[in-house]
Every structure is written in structure tokens, then in C-alpha cells.
A and B are shown apart, each in its own frame.
Chain A
Amino acid sequence: MNKKKSVNYAKFGYIFSIPFVVAYLIFQLYPVLYTVVIGFTDLEGLTTPVSSMHILSNPFQNFIDILKGSGAGSFRLCLFNTVVMWVCNFIPQIALALLLTAWFTDDRSKIKGQGLFKVLFYLPNIITAASVAILFQAFLSYPIGPLNSIRSSILSTFSSNFDGKGYNFLNNKAFTRGVVSFIQFWMWYGNTMVLLIAGVIGIDPAIFEAAQIDGASRTQTFFKITIPCIRTILLYVLVTSMIGGLNMFDIPHLLNRGGPDGATTTTAVYIYKQAFQNPRYQYNKAAAASIIMFVIIMILTLCLFYILRDKDEEELKKLRKKERKALKHQA
């Protein structure tokens, strides 16, 4: 009896997954397989039929070609750009989102207008990347522009021999990278905060009450109770921010076309340029670069899962135990 029941329920696991699997097989499997396969072939050009492509004599030749260069415009440089810009927005973004979550979910110090703040902080995410890029270009425009006006009014106050000329901010590599990181940070911290708050709202309020009764301070409550309780959501936030950040495309592409001097060309922009903007349509190189990125992201994700693993596993085990117990009970 007992066994029969649990087999029965397992069936629903499969049934409920069917829509996802079917939609995936129909719409995404072909494009993915296509990408994986052509990464090992000589497929180039718009009109070359897929049937006429060949697996390269060294199947990894495309990967070698991509990885060997280290000069301007190379994949390695793009990877470096991506990592630099990602780290510079990822860490402040998570830190600020956690801080805001702590502030807004703290029952003891009710922050007035927090509803409005929460709503406002997410707003930057609503604007399209194209609009954001246009607005920031306008803000940084050269030789005359808002930031240049601020700069020259400061310089003319503090320095007597200021020549009055504007500064081309978007021609400065470090500055442009900083701008891309800032935009990413600004667009996404609200999103991260909303997710974390949703996680905290899901926690049983009784836990917080108990903590308060036990005399835990706010900081203690946040680190000892809130964070462990939203661990699963935190894992989601970290993993998706990482995937999104390492595949960063819109802003670097639209703000300054991956420039100046290729400083904001991310790997996603590199892939896009190879596949779509190159009149030779180097699909194979683009596919190989995608596979490399996939491997890198996978390794990093596994690390995150490993770091945040313990509790996850424990909870799962607990759930399973409970279910078994309940089944026994029923039986």
C-alpha cells in the first residue's frame, strides 16, 4: 500500500514537467544543438548550407583560434572586460540590495514611505536598455554636456589655469567601464532587492517574533535568521545575477559599441559581432565562444551551489523525511 502510493505521486512529478519539456524540445533544443555542433565545424558564411559543413580535422581548432589571441579585440581581452565590469557591479549591487532588504524588512524600525521607496528603486529596470544608453550618452556628451558643465565649473573654481575645454569621458577606458558597471548596478539593484524582500516576506513571522522575544539585536536577527532563511532565494539571486552579468550585452553594446578601444566589449558583444555583424558570418567562432562562456559560467555556478549547499540539502532531506512520515501515517 505504502509503496504504491509513493509511486503514484512520483508520476505527477513527470506529468507536471511535461509542458516545460515539450516547449523546450520544440523551440530551444534545435537552436542549442545547432550552436553546439557548429562550434566544432567550419561553418561560415550566410549561404553555406548546414549540410555542407564539416567537422574540423582538429575539432577544437575554433576554440584554439579564439583563445590564443591576447591582443586588441581578442576573446581573452573581452573576457577580462566582462569580469572587471561584472565584479564592479555585482558586489555593490548585492551589498546594497541586502542592506535595503535589512532596512525594509525590519519590523522594529518602521521606515516611513518604505512602500514608495521599494516601488521607486525598481523603476530603473523598467526603461529599455536603449533608452538608458541614450540618456547616459546625453549626460556624458562631449564637448558640451551636463557632466562636462559640472566638471568645468569645478575646475574653473579650483584651478586658475583651466583651459575651459571639455573632457571626452567616453574615450577614457576606465571611466567607460565604470559607467557600464554603474548602469548595470543602478538598473538591477532594485530587482535584486525586490527578490530578496519577497524571500523575507515568505519567512514565517513567528520565527522573527521568537527572535525578538529572545532579545536578538537587529544585526543578529538579520545575519542569524533572515539570511539563513532566504538562503534558497539568495542562491537564486547570486546565480542569476552572475549569469546575467557574465552575459552582459545591451548596455556595453549600446552605450559606446563596446568601445573605446574595445574596453567595454564583453564576451556577449564579441559573440554578437562574430555572428551577426561580421559580413563573413563566423558562426562557428561565435558558437565556440558561446560554449567557452557556458563552461565558465557552469563552473562558477557549481561553486556557488557548493558554497550555499549545506542548508539546501538539509532542508530537502527534512522535506523528504516529513513526506515519508506523513505517508506512513496515512498508511
Chain B
Amino acid sequence: MKKVIASALCLTMAAAMFAGCSKSSSKAKGEINLYTFTDEVVKMSEKYKELHPDFGYDFKVTQIATDGGGYQQALDAALAAGGADAPDIYAAEAAFVLKYAQGAASEFAAPYEDLGIDVNAKIQEAGIAQYTVEIGTRPSDGKVVGLGYQATGGCMIYRADIAQEVFGTDDPAAIKDVVGGGSGNWDKFWEAAEQLKAKGYGIVSGDGDIWHSVENSSSSGWIKDGKLNIAPEREAFMDMSKKLKDNDYHNDTQDWQEGWYADMNGTGPKGVFAFFGPAWLINYTLGEHGADQAGNYRVTEPPVGFFWGGTWILASKYAAEASDEKKAAIADFITWITLDTSDEGLQYLWANGKMNENGTKDCVASSVVMDKSDGKSDFLGGQNMFEYFVPANAGANGKCLTESDENINTIWRDQVRQYTAGEKSKEEAIADFKSAVNEQLGIPS
């Protein structure tokens, strides 16, 4: 019996293993070390070699998942160690890009101009979204060390059937008025929430949906003069979260958990009207988890503008010290990703769904590229999403970010949840938030 089980398992294993791959190595001038946490950048390196057969260098790709901080740990150690394996080009996500572009690890980054890229002129020429430049600019010398390819300005993505039922229309311009799109305040949003509740719907899935909108539109960041600073907008988020919960305006889900995904597909406890996010949320998350609702979503302007996420590309100081030939190759590749506005440039391919096997379109940083791209999406019932996302990208700002945001946000959201769930008072939650930030991050208040 045991033998039977064991051999059956072996067979299953063998069956599962047939996906072997072999890589052929061609003769190349050398290797460029590329560190990334996402396979998007891996695909870009392959596409680039395909488009530029005379490139001459091989990409030695190191892809590490962000699990448990593994990517940053390996990248930090590799940057600090230097040598032949040191990263030449590396990717950083919005949650931690500030550490590499402005904070503790920024000294490892090389300014784009040191690679021979005429960065300021090209940024102008391509019309790169201002906030991505702000985030990628190192404060110590005011030079651009990183740029993104995406633009991640956020919109409100709502369900057409619910809009039709509750508000009598699913027209984006009309819905914009219903929720007070572009008004800069949440007054009409609450009115809409009450109307939706009357018909048994929630306006959002959880408080996380409006948090990003609050976070990236507030007047100041988490840290001011080395001390913890709670911007009034962020403090007001506590009341918003409480209001959503007490009035039953949402399903009280947490972002990135099963309940949140279920709401995208309309299978939660009650139907959810809207999600707040950039174009990538549609492509990656809503598209993946809301397949039953395909064609039923529309995009309109949110009450308060914001941005969320994105990936930045940096070159290391080791790349800037390389031979002129290698430096030029690195510069060409980075330019192709971040600054090239031609129809062969990454951003055009990206915006028009020519990089992904399923043809999903995404917003990119260059407004020049956006102007000549078409954002019609079947998932949005044929709506051209760029109509709303392009202005959203212009409205985003990266001024009140700090490198500790990821950590502070986690503590903050946790305390807000405690308050919202009635576990503690607002004052206690704020006091505990301050204490936890000081104890765990060493930031006094």
C-alpha cells in the first residue's frame, strides 16, 4: 500500500515537472545585472533584446519576490557588497522606492545624467508625469535617479448596473456629478452612499478603498522635521472609516484579502458600487478577480485625486563606473523604458496592450505617448479609460511621501481598524499609533 502511494506521488511529481526550460547563451559583450521584484521588468528586458538584436549585452536577471522583505534585503546586500555581481539596474516599487531614490539607499543610485542621458530635456519632451519625477529625484543633489514607466493616477471605478439601478444612469460624466468627482471633498460621496444603502448596496468594499485617496492627497506627510506628523486629512480618515462602518456603507473588507476580491466579482455580502485605483487595478486585480463583472465597470473622476503604486527604474553607481560602451547600453535600455515616446518605445507598447499576452492596456508616464494611445477597454464596456486617467495622472503629487510610509501606514491602518471596530476610543488609537511608531520605527512624536 505504501509503495503504491509513494509511486503514485512520484508519478504526479513527474507529471508536474514536464515544464523544463533550457536557455541558450549567445556570445555577448558582457552582462548587465538586473534586479527586479516583478516579472514585468523581466519581460521588458526580453522585448528589448528582441527589438534591438545588435544590443550585444546579456541581461543577468535576478528576480526576487517581495515576500517578507526578501527583495530589499538581497538588493541592499548586493548594492553594499559591490563587485562583479553588483546590480547595474534595479526596480523599486512605490512602497519602497523612496528608500532607494531619496533615503537610506539613495547613495547607491546613479543620476540618469551620469549615464549620459539628457534627462531634463527628455522629461520635458516626453511630458513625463511630474509626480514620478519628484519621487525619482534625489534631494541631496537634486538630480533624477529614477523614473517610472507607469502613471498611477487613480480614478473611481464603478459598476454600471448598480449606477443604472440607483442613480438612473451609468454615464461617467453624470456619475462624476453624483459622487462629487473633482470637488476635493467627500460631501456628495456620503449622499451617494446613503442612496446606495437604501437599495442594499455598499459604496465601497472597505475603508482601504478610500485610504489611498486620502493618503496621497493630504497636505503633509507622516514625518515633519524628524517627528511624526498626522495631517488633518489623515486624522479625518478615522471618522470616515467609522462613518462607513457605523452606517453600513461597506462590506468592511481589508484590501488584498479574499473578501475584497470577492466584492470585485459581486459575490460579497452585498453588492459594492466602486473601487478606487489606477489603471493597473483594472488590469491586474479587477480583471483577474472580477471576471464575472467584465464589461460592467466604468471609470470616472474621484472626489479627491490621488495616485497609488508604480514601479521605478534606477541605475546603480556601479553602472555609472562601467566602461563607456556598457554605460551607453544601460542608458539606452533605461531610456527605452522611461523616456522613449516612439511607437517602438516601451511606454507605447505598454499603453496599447502590446506587452501583455492578454492585451491589457495601462497608463504610462509620458503624456506624449498617452495622447497617441487608445484606452478603449472591453472590461469597461468599451469606454476609453484614458479620458479620465490622463487628467488623474496630472493631479497626482509625490511631495508628501516619506521612506517610512509603508511601515507607518501599516500601523495606522491597524489602529484605525481598532477604533472603527469599537475596540478603543479615537484618542487611545492615536496615542497607541504614536507609541507604536516611536517604539518600532524610532520616530518620536
Q: Taking beta carbons and an 8 Å cutoff, which residues of A are in contact with B?
A: 45-47, 69, 71-75, 130, 137-138, 141-145, 165-166, 168, 171, 173, 253, 257, 259-262, 270, 273-274, 276-282, 285
Contact = CB atoms under 8 A, between A and B. Distances in A.
Contact of A46 (B67, B80, B257, B417): B80
A276 B66 CA distance: 12
B287 interface: no
A285 B439 CA distance: 10
Interface residues of B, number: 46
Q: Which of A73, A75, A282 has the most chain B CB within a 10 Å cutoff?
A: A73
A71 B418 contact: no
Contacts of B414: 259-262
B442 A285 contact: yes
A280 B436 contact: no
Given A69-B435, A260-B418, A278 B252 contact: no
B425 interface: no
A164 B414 CA distance: 25
Given A47-B80, A72-B433, A278 B442 contact: yes
Contacts of B103: 279
B440 A143 contact: no
Contacts of A173: 423
A171 B417 contact: yes
B410 A257 contact: yes
Given A47-B107, A144-B269, A270 B440 contact: yes
A30 B438 CA distance: 30
A285 B262 CA distance: 41
Contacts of B262: 144
Main SS class of interface, B: helix
Nearest to B270: A143
B221 to A, nearest CB: 14
A166 B250 CA distance: 12
A74 B431 CA distance: 13
Contacts of A276: 69, 72-73
Contact of A281 (B104, B258, B433): B104
User: In the complex, which of the residues A46, A166, A168, A278 has the most CB atoms of chain B within 10 Å of its own CB atom?
Assistant: A46
B404 interface: yes
A278 B439 contact: no
A72 B258 contact: no
B435 A71 contact: yes
B268 A74 contact: no
Given A46-B104, A261-B418, A278 B80 contact: no
Interface string B90-106: 00000010010001110
B84 interface: no
B191 to A, nearest CB: 24
B437 interface: yes
Given A260-B414, A280-B104, A72 B435 contact: yes
B316 interface: no
B335 interface: no
B79 to A, nearest CB: 8
A143 B435 contact: no
Contacts of B424: 261
Contacts of A262: 414, 436
Contact of B258 (A138, A278, A279, A282): A138
A273 B440 contact: yes
Interface string B254-282: 00011100100000110000000000000
User: For B69, B410, B414, B440, which residue has the most chain A Cβ atoms within 10 angstroms?
Assistant: B440
A279 B96 CA distance: 9
26 contacts: A47-B80, A69-B439, A71-B436, A71-B439, A72-B415, A72-B431, A72-B433, A72-B439, A73-B432, A73-B437, A75-B439, A137-B258, A142-B259, A143-B253, A143-B268, A168-B421, A171-B418, A259-B414, A261-B418, A261-B423, A262-B436, A273-B440, A277-B407, A279-B104, A280-B442, A282-B442
Contact of A73 (B96, B259, B417, B436): B436
Contacts of B67: 130
B76 interface: yes
A72 B436 CA distance: 5
B435 A74 contact: yes
B311 interface: no
Contacts of A143: 251-253, 259, 268-269
B11 interface: no
B68 interface: yes
Interface string B401-416: 0011001001100110
Contacts of A257: 410
A282 B258 CA distance: 34
Given A260-B417, A279-B99, A145 B407 contact: no
- A130, A173, A262: residue with the most chain B Cβ atoms closer than 10 Å: A262
Interface string B237-259: 00000000000000111000111
A215 to B, nearest CB: 39
Given A71-B431, A273-B440, 18 more contacts: A47-B105, A69-B439, A72-B431, A72-B439, A73-B411, A75-B439, A171-B418, A171-B423, A260-B414, A260-B417, A261-B418, A273-B407, A276-B69, A278-B441, A279-B96, A279-B103, A281-B104, A282-B442
